Each structure stands twice: as C-alpha cells, then as structure tokens.
C-alpha cells in the first residue's frame, strides 16, 4: 500500500517558488522519500560535507572547525 502524507518544510523563498507546480512537488516528495528511506540520506549528507570541507580549506578553515560547527547544529 503506497500512501502519502502532506508535510510542511521550511524552505527559502527561491526554492519554495520552484515548488509552485503540483508536478514538481510530487517529484520532490518522491525524491525526498527515497533519500529518507534506508539511510540513503547519510551518504548524501556525507558527500555534501566532504564537498564543503574541500571548498572551505583554501579559505583557511580546518576540518576541526567544520566538525565543531556541525556539532553545534546537532544540539
């Protein structure tokens, strides 16, 4: 049985405009559902954090700085 539930998520205004179309909302919902199932989101987040670290290093940020910031957001 495949059911859906409407949820409200905070988005910035630009991203919200992109979801004005019911078809786009359906696609985004399927994509988000897929990410959240089976821990796939951990891999996506790990890749994003890795990318952020690579981009931040030339500016002088160290991995420890980024990890401390992530830890502060977890609290």
Q: What is the pLDDT of residues 38-49, one digit of tens each?
A: 677 778 778 888
pTM, full prediction: 0.51
Q: At what angle do helices 22-36 and 40-56 cross, to 10 degrees?
A: 90
Specify if 11 maps to a domain: no
Specify if 65 maps to a domain: yes
Domain that holds residue 50: 40-74
Specify if 35 maps to a domain: no
Specify if 68 maps to a domain: yes
Specify if 47 maps to a domain: yes
Number of domains in the chain: 1
Which pLDDT tens digit goes with each residue over 7-65? 898 989 998 998 999 999 988 888 888 877 867 777 877 888 888 888 888 888 888 88
The b-or-e profile of 50-62 (16+ CB within 10 A means b, else e) is: eeeeeeeeeeeee
- The residue assigned the tokens 């949820």 is 7
């Amino acid at each position: 049985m495949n059911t859906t539930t409407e949820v409200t998520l905070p988005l910035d205004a630009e991203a919200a405009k992109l979801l004005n179309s019911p078809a786009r909302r359906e696609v985004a919902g399927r994509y988000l559902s897929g990410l959240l199932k089976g821990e796939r989101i951990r891999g996506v987040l790990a890749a994003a954090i890795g990318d952020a670290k690579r981009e931040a290093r030339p500016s002088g940020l160290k991995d420890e700085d980024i990890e401390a910031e992530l830890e502060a957001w977890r609290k």
